[in-house]
Chain A
Amino acid sequence: MNKLYIFLKYFFIVVWTVFVVAPFLWALTTSFKDFQSVNGGVTYIPWVDFEPNLEGWKVLIKSPAKGGVDIIEPYFNSLFVTCTASLISIILGTLSAYALSRYTFKAGFVKNNDITFFFISQRIMPPIVLSIPFFLFLSSINLLDSLTGLIVVYIVLLMPIAVWIMVDFFNKVPREIDETALIDGCNPYQAFLKVVLPNSIPGLIVAGMFCIIFGWIDFFFAFILTFTEVQLLPVKIVALNSSVTPWWSLSASALVSVAPLIIVAFIVERYLSKGNLSGAIK
């Protein structure tokens, strides 16, 4: 019985690992293949099955004049836009969430929950509905096709996520902790910074992770709101596709674009395994 259990356990772990890792291996090997190796039947092992070369990767850094699709600039554009927008969203979102969690707002029939729902409703709308207003808005303030314009739009998209997660988190931090801080001599700002915020780090990390993921993977708005001056990574990767699908450079770019998310995941996992995410509030 016990042996069967262990067998089954490892069996499923192996199956699942294959399931998760296989696409990455596939992308990794494909990125080193050329036209013949991709179209010449199923091959896996470099040097045995096929002769690896770096063509797929070189395309990514070659300038368009030489037949490449220079993704270095869009890559850093994407990093910059995602990080800046996430950071601002987290700061604004956390402050709004704290206010929504601790203070009572009332404007006619509009109350705290309605305001929170308003934030979330921004994410319920299909993006296509927002595209025209965003386009007109950015063009009227001359921010179309610019990093600043993208950051503004991404803040609108990401802040609701931060507010949503943090309102829920702050609601779970007992109000009495704030009150105790006040009694112990903190003014409201100190109470927030010295007591509430340090106890909300797990929530901040989760919110930050979601913001980074949603910001990083966005294609739609990056596609609609930029033309030639500025480009973001997802748009550039799509531009790779031509009459002959370049599987090798697509695979390479897929690996490069997923790398930051994997790094974020590892950092969060580190934090998780330290047990810091759970048990902050008893």
Chain B
Amino acid sequence: MDLVANNLSYKPDDQYHLNEVSFNFKEGNLYTILGRTLSGKTTLLKTIAGLVTPDSGEIEFDGKNFLKVPVWERNVAMVYQQFINYPHLNVFENIAFPLKQRKIDQSIINEKVMDALKSVGLVGFENRKIQELSGGQQQRVSLARSLVKNAKILLLDEPLVNLDYKLREQLREEFKNLFSKGLADETILIYSTTDPRETMELNGEVIVLDEGKVLQVGPAKEIFENPNSLKVAEISNDPPMNIIEAKISDNQIRFEGIDVEAPQHLSKLTEDGLKIGLRSSDIELNENGHEFEVELAEISGSETLLHLKRGDTKIIVSIEEVLNFKIHDKVKINFKINRAYAFHADGKLASSPFGGLNG
């Protein structure tokens, strides 16, 4: 039972929310839709759910035209980023709602709801009001409500984004366990997120979406190692990959008066307008390195993000410890240049350290 979409387009105003989106989702798999805010992730999920009717294109599920099936008969489940539950019902009634709607026997409903409560760790909360729960608990309730239906298609729209850091880590872990053991083989799980780390951890098939267009499709590892364009490299890295305008000649990468010896996979690229991409984690502080000026230093968790500048080149460096810098401090850094990517002037990948399009 595959979910197949062909050239879905949706343009309610002067911007494309979906632009010729096609995919082929197979049952029993996890698909991650990665994209920045307003990239069309939610629209895509809503289109699959039937809440949005595309201007053109087709969706087929199980060989049937899905666009002809109204939302309430599609047997999909969806979890929103804003913890949507029914405020007038308690936890038990919330989870039982979709089952009641199907007129299932009360004893079976009780059993299924208790199972769902168990799997999201909310046993004992049955009679609580929704408003009495924390954000994380509310999101668990809506997850339970979507699990209890045994839907063939489970849509999760940035389910962790409105939670605080710790809860997010914890729920993400639980999601992973749940997905790996709890889901029936015939379920198609579609998870949208803005967070590249989440994408890598979930480790499913990734669809990179930007301005309604699919930029790249592939396993998480492939997207991380060989992003096919500058855009994908930006979207699939947090902080975004550093992009440096450079020239390669005589086996040297030159920019802002710095010469770095080009690694083998970059040495043959001598064209104009070449852009070098380097992850913020692939730059390190080094006494013998090149001098940059600190523009901003932010501490996030146990990491320090340094925004550096030299001439017109701005880069971000992430360091795995908490360090204090002042604005306009001078720091010396070294590039792990053998991890560098190169992109053509039009943004397409020219060469990656993992062997994509070598030379």
Does A174 lie at the interface of the complex (its beta carbon under 8 Å from any beta carbon of B)? yes
Does B78 lie at the interface of the complex (its beta carbon under 8 Å from any beta carbon of A)? yes
Q: Which of B60-68, B96-104, B251-259 contacts A (4 or more CB under 8 A)?
A: B96-104
Q: Which of B81-89, B110-118, B288-296, B332-340 contacts A (4 or more CB under 8 A)?
A: B81-89
Q: Are A199 and B87 in contact (CB under 8 A)?
A: yes
- Chain A count of residues within 8 A CB distance of the other chain: 20
Among B46, B71, B74, B85, chain A packs the most CB atoms within 10 A around the CB of B71
Q: Are B51 and A182 in contact (CB under 8 A)?
A: yes
Q: Are B70 and A198 in contact (CB under 8 A)?
A: no
Interface of A is mostly: helix
B-side contacts of A185, CB under 8 Å: 72-73, 98, 101-102
Does B286 lie at the interface of the complex (its beta carbon under 8 Å from any beta carbon of A)? no
Among B73, B80, B145, chain A packs the most CB atoms within 10 A around the CB of B80
20 interchain pairs, CB-CB under 8 A: A174-B82, A176-B82, A177-B84, A179-B46, A180-B78, A180-B80, A180-B142, A182-B50, A183-B49, A184-B98, A184-B101, A184-B149, A185-B73, A185-B102, A187-B70, A190-B101, A195-B86, A199-B87, A199-B88, A280-B88
A-side contacts of B85, CB under 8 Å: 180
When chains A and B are docked, how far (Å) is the Cα of A2 from the Cα of B46? 58
Does B130 lie at the interface of the complex (its beta carbon under 8 Å from any beta carbon of A)? yes
Residue of A nearest to B75 (CB): A185
Rounded to whole Å, the gap between the CB of B210 and the closest CB of chain A is: 24
When chains A and B are docked, how far (Å) is the Cα of A177 from the Cα of B70? 17
When chains A and B are docked, how far (Å) is the Cα of A281 from the Cα of B131? 8
Interface residues of A (CB under 8 A from B): 174, 176-177, 179-187, 190, 195, 198-199, 279-282
B-side contacts of A176, CB under 8 Å: 80, 82, 84
Q: Are B84 and A199 in contact (CB under 8 A)?
A: no
Rounded to whole Å, the gap between the CB of A269 and the closest CB of chain B is: 21
Number of interchain pairs (Cβ within 8 Å): 62
Q: Are A186 and B87 in contact (CB under 8 A)?
A: no
Does B266 lie at the interface of the complex (its beta carbon under 8 Å from any beta carbon of A)? no
Rounded to whole Å, the gap between the CB of B142 and the closest CB of chain A is: 8
A-side contacts of B77, CB under 8 Å: 183
When chains A and B are docked, how far (Å) is the Cα of A182 from the Cα of B77? 10
Residue of A nearest to B130 (CB): A282
Residue of B nearest to A201 (CB): B88
A-side contacts of B142, CB under 8 Å: 180
When chains A and B are docked, how far (Å) is the Cα of A96 from the Cα of B85? 25
A-side contacts of B130, CB under 8 Å: 282
When chains A and B are docked, how far (Å) is the Cα of A200 from the Cα of B149? 26
Which one of B73, B78, B84, B101 contacts A174 once the chains associate, using CB atoms below 8 Å?
B84
Does B76 lie at the interface of the complex (its beta carbon under 8 Å from any beta carbon of A)? yes
When chains A and B are docked, how far (Å) is the Cα of A195 from the Cα of B97? 10
When chains A and B are docked, how far (Å) is the Cα of A181 from the Cα of B88? 13
B-side contacts of A281, CB under 8 Å: 87
When chains A and B are docked, how far (Å) is the Cα of A198 from the Cα of B74? 25
